[in-house]
């Protein structure tokens, strides 16, 4: 007999597809060396901790966020060298921006398209908004399948095409010529392209030098990989006419005064974070040197603060590293192309040495 308790009756008001979904899982990292979420391993220097604490303590927490948001927009525009004629929109992390884009483009029959494997929030935001998500598999070496992408754009006519530059979890930058053909095809059929540059501080190049060639391309970045993952601050740049429309679905006061002031403070000390990014890039090279000494491990080139590897048995290796106190990300179940793959976050020199030792002993 079907239960008719108040709770079960209330559950009937929640969409069936939502009830069938899994919540975004965050691994319990207590007591572990946490190298699973592409976080910057470096904290603020002590002197800056004191200065930031004093600054945050003086904020009017009893008031709604005010004009400091506009100050942050200007500071980010200058930091990112935003082109003339573009506008900038703030989000509570890139996740909120992705959700707002889906909301703004929710026309009947609309679809969102992205290469897979890729960032899970592209598909999740589409599903939650009731849009179709079309995932186009990458090649076996995680490159863009240009022909398949072009065919999917012609067939599906998506409202949005996401291109991560570099991609998560594969960490690579795709071929620029292929990207340009995809961008052009999406523009010809009247859709938007969002270039997601979450890992830009660690990449050798940016799309911002090419973004003004097109009037349908938006550039999305975050301060999470800059070094402020706990602050939750993303930003979207693009032609003013487009950004102004998308900004209409943004909740009022979506960026707290604490988030805003932390971000402004960090940008005032951008040189400190640039040094941290340089260290992470240097450590990334050293990890590759260590991986080269492990013949059972295959790795792919990285332009991010993570490295994708394939091992003989991902589950066994993951559990072995976890038992050794090192937490990485087992992505082997995310997509068939990721069979037996783990994603390693680049940490400090000591952290990376521990990670490599745990990996070798767990193979």
12-21 residue pLDDT tens: 888 888 888 7
User: If you average pLDDT over every residue of the chain, what do you get?
Assistant: 95
3-state SS of the chain: helix, strand, coil percent to 5? 45, 15, 40
52-77 residue pLDDT tens: 999 999 999 999 999 999 999 999 99
Domain termination site, one of 238, 268, 298: 268
Q: Taking 60 as the threshold, does the pLDDT of residue 179 lie above it?
A: yes
Rounded distance, CA 41 to CA 29, Å?
14
Q: What percent of the chain has pLDDT over 90?
A: 90
Q: Taking 90 as the threshold, does the pLDDT of residue 288 lie above it?
A: yes
Q: Taking 60 as the threshold, does the pLDDT of residue 2 lie above it?
A: no
Domains of the chain: total? 2
Query: What sections of the chain are H helices per DSSP?
Result: 6-11, 16-19, 46-57, 68-79, 93-104, 120-129, 146-156, 176-188, 240-246, 257-268, 270-291, 314-323, 349-362
In this prediction the pTM is 0.93
Do 101 and 175 lie in one domain? The reply is yes
Across residues 193-203, what is the average pLDDT? 97
Give the per-residue pLDDT at 230.
Answer: 92
Q: Taking 50 as the threshold, does the pLDDT of residue 196 lie above it?
A: yes
Q: Taking 90 as the threshold, does the pLDDT of residue 27 lie above it?
A: no
Across residues 95-115, what is the average pLDDT? 97
Q: Is residue 192 part of a domain?
A: yes
Give the per-residue pLDDT at 348.
Answer: 97
Domain termination site, one of 268, 287, 317: 268
Do 194 and 311 lie in one domain? The reply is no
Across residues 107-125, what is the average pLDDT? 96
Do 188 and 102 lie in one domain? The reply is yes
Confidence band for 25, pLDDT divided at 50, 70 and 90: confident
Confidence band for 3, pLDDT divided at 50, 70 and 90: low
Q: Is residue 55 part of a domain?
A: no
Do 261 and 280 lie in one domain? The reply is no
Confidence band for 1, pLDDT divided at 50, 70 and 90: very low
Domain termination site, one of 233, 268, 303: 268
Do 297 and 175 lie in one domain? The reply is no
More confident residue, 255 or 26: 255
Rounded distance, CA 239 to CA 141, Å?
34
Across residues 196-200, what is the average pLDDT? 97
Q: Is residue 10 part of a domain?
A: no
The CATH number for 181's domain is: 3.40.640.10
Rounded distance, CA 170 to CA 73, Å?
30
Q: Is residue 56 part of a domain?
A: no
344-354 residue pLDDT tens: 999 999 999 99
Q: Is residue 6 part of a domain?
A: no
Do 124 and 224 lie in one domain? The reply is yes
Contact between 197 and 207 under an 8 Å Cβ cutoff? The reply is: yes
Q: Is residue 11 part of a domain?
A: no
Q: Taking 70 as the threshold, does the pLDDT of residue 292 lie above it?
A: yes
Rounded distance, CA 73 to CA 235, Å?
9
Half-sphere exposure of 303 (CA within 13 A, CB side): 16
Do 311 and 228 lie in one domain? The reply is no
- Which residue segment(s) compose the domain that 216 sits in? 62-268
214-223 residue pLDDT tens: 999 999 999 9
Do 253 and 300 lie in one domain? The reply is no
Task: Give Cβ neighbours of residue 72 (< 8 Å, ≥ 6 apart).
Answer: 90, 255, 260, 263, 264, 267
Q: What percent of the chain has pLDDT over 70?
A: 99
Contact between 216 and 185 under an 8 Å Cβ cutoff? The reply is: no
Do 220 and 313 lie in one domain? The reply is no
Give the per-residue pLDDT at 19.
Answer: 84
Do 42 and 87 lie in one domain? The reply is no
Across residues 320-334, what is the average pLDDT? 97
Do 290 and 220 lie in one domain? The reply is no
Q: Is residue 260 part of a domain?
A: yes
Give the per-residue pLDDT at 346.
Answer: 98
294-326 residue pLDDT tens: 999 999 999 999 999 999 999 999 999 999 999
Do 83 and 210 lie in one domain? The reply is yes
């Amino acid at each position: 007999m079907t239960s008719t308790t108040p709770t079960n009756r209330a559950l009937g008001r929640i969409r069936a597809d939502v009830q069938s979904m899994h919540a975004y899982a965050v691994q319990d990292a207590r007591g572990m060396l946490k190298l699973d979420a592409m976080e910057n391993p470096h904290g603020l220097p002590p002197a800056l901790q004191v200065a930031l604490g004093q600054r945050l303590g003086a904020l009017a927490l009893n008031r709604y966020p005010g004009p400091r948001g506009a100050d942050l927009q200007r500071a980010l525009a200058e930091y990112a060298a935003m082109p003339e004629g573009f506008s900038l929109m703030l989000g509570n992390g890139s996740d909120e921006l992705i959700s707002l884009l889906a909301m703004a483009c929710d026309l009947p029959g609309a679809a969102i398209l992205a290469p897979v494997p890729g960032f899970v929030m592209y598909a999740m935001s589409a599903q939650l908004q009731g849009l179709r998500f079309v995932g186009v598999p990458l090649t076996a070496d995680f490159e863009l399948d240009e022909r398949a992408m072009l065919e999917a754009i012609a067939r599906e006519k998506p409202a949005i095409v996401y291109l991560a530059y570099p991609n998560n979890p594969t960490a690579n930058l795709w071929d620029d010529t292929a990207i340009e053909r995809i961008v052009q095809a999406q523009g010809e059929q009247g859709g938007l392209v969002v270039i997601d540059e979450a890992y830009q501080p660690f990449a050798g190049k940016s799309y911002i030098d090419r973004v003004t060639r097109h009037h349908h391309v938006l550039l999305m970045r975050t301060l999470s990989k800059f070094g402020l993952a706990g602050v939750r601050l993303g930003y979207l740049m693009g032609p003013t006419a487009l950004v102004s429309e998308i900004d209409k679905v943004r909740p009022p006061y979506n960026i707290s005064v604490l988030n805003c002031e932390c971000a402004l403070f960090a940008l005032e000390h951008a040189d400190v974070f640039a040094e941290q990014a340089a260290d992470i890039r240097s450590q990334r090279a050293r990890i590759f040197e260590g991986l080269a000494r492990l013949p059972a491990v295959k790795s792919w080139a990285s332009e991010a603060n993570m490295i994708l590897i394939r091992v003989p048995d991902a589950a066994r290796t993951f559990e072995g590293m976890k038992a050794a106190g090192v937490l990485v990300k087992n992505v082997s179940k995310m997509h068939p192309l990721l069979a037996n793959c783990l994603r390693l976050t680049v940490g400090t020199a000591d952290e990376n040495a521990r990670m490599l030792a745990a990996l070798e002993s767990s193979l």
